[in-house]
Amino acid sequence: MANGTHFSTRDCKEVSLFCPVEATVLGYYPNLGVNAFLAAGFGLCLVGLIVTGIWKKTWGYSAALVAGCILEFAGYIARVQMHANPWNQDAFQTQICAIILAPTLICISIYLTLKHVVLSLNASLSRVRPRLYPALFVPADVSCLVLQAIGGGLAASAGHDNAALLLAGDRVIIVGIALQVVVLLVFGAMCADYFVRAGRWLKGPGDGGDGPQREAARAIWEDKKFRLFFYAVAGAYTGILIRCIYRIAEMSGGWGSPIMRDEPSFIVLEGFLVLIPVALLTAFSPGFLFPAMAERESQRFRRKNKGSNNSSDNHVSEAEKGGEMGVTSGDETPDARAGSV
């Protein structure tokens, strides 16, 4: 006890008379069983993603999910360590940064799907060119990631008792998550707009100049495997969006707020509302259910591996332009046109 009269929690290393668990930021011992279950769940998804990503060559889709799973796994392992010692500073810092950042990486995989769905159905119905979807949403998502990383770094370095630094980190994290919610809502609005337009087009008569294309797109849309993939992505999107809204409410109360100190709400709205989306995106992989997307990613990777980046980039650009601007003419199916993208 400093000078015999004052003890700072900065000196706390483990729970004791002068360092009660209630004085930590979380204010509780993280539940061992639930956090171990979440860590195991993300670990299993990680293995599954690596296997299917290599097998089906869904490189871009799988890479973002793998990165997110690694962070989630590390975050919940850290919470398991905090069950033994809530004052474990390294574990506290790890769980702050890893669990906050991981869903932003997972979102990248969701954003990548819209381009391929548009190319497979009818690119001319989209208000923007399909290749612009990842060009718009991935950088926006990365900006959210950077803000949350800065905020998480500030909060982690603050420890348990540097209130000013914790508050600064809290505010930056809120901005990053709020921006992520905006990006998710814009993405959802663009998806809804496209699917409404595509639905009307698919229900139209097949006796016009685009009849063969419409029938081919209708076959894709009505395919049970594609529907499973579509519903899995929609479910994952919904879970991540709800999680982000919860995080804004949690962080708005500041570190050590009643919401932050309520582990059941954290487990449900953070833990399971990220694990379930990851499980959906892993189990219902495009490699099995949406082969057109997997084939495009595989072809792009093969071209890059051949060391012909310049010529292949030109080829991709022309193919995308053809798929985006001339998709409603001729007798080729959308997948046939998009196959070289």
Between 229 and 293, the higher pLDDT residue: 229
pLDDT in tens, 33-45: 999 999 999 999 9
Q: How far apart are CA 105 and CA 253, in angstroms?
A: 25
Angle between helices 59-84 and 32-56 (to 10 degrees): 160
pLDDT at 159: 65
Structure tokens at 157: 């370095």
Range with lowest mean pLDDT among 16-25, 188-197, 286-295, 330-339: 330-339
Range with lowest mean pLDDT among 7-11, 60-64, 207-211: 207-211
pLDDT at 154: 86
pLDDT at 230 over 80: yes
Token pair 């053809």 is at which residue? 322
Sign of CA dihedral 107, 110, 116, 118: negative
pLDDT in tens, 158-170: 766 677 888 888 8
pLDDT at 8: 66
pLDDT at 100: 92
pTM for the whole structure: 0.84
Domains, in order of start, for the chain: 25-296+330-338 (1.20.1070)
pLDDT at 120: 92
pLDDT at 114 over 60: yes
| Maximum separation of any 2 CA atoms in the chain, in Å | 90
End-to-end CA distance of the chain: 67
pLDDT at 327 over 80: no
Structure tokens at 31: 């539940």
pLDDT at 153: 86
pLDDT at 322: 46
Q: How far apart are CA 153 and CA 96, in angstroms?
A: 9
pLDDT at 255: 82
Q: What is the mean pLDDT of the chain?
A: 85
pLDDT at 324: 52
pLDDT category of residue 10 using cuts at 50, 70 and 90: confident
**Residues with Cβ < 8 Å from 280, sequence gap 6 or more?**
232, 233, 235, 236, 239
pLDDT at 275: 98
| Residue 200 identity (one-letter amino acid) | R
| Residue 61 identity (one-letter amino acid) | Y
Q: What is the DSSP string of 14-58?
A: S--SSS-GGGSSS-SPPPHHHHHHHHHHHHHHHHHHHHHHHHHT-
pLDDT in tens, 253-269: 888 889 999 999 999 99
- Cβ distance 125 to 203 under 8 Å? no
pLDDT at 170: 87
Between 339 and 218, the higher pLDDT residue: 218
pLDDT at 212: 80
CB atoms within 10 A of CB 191: 19
pLDDT at 32 over 90: yes
Q: What is the DSSP string of 147-205?
A: HHHHHHHHHHHHTTT-HHHHHHHHHHHHHHHHHHHHHHHHHHHHHHHHHHHHHHHHTS-
pLDDT at 74: 98
pLDDT in tens, 269-319: 999 999 999 999 999 999 999 988 878 876 766 666 665 444 434 444 444
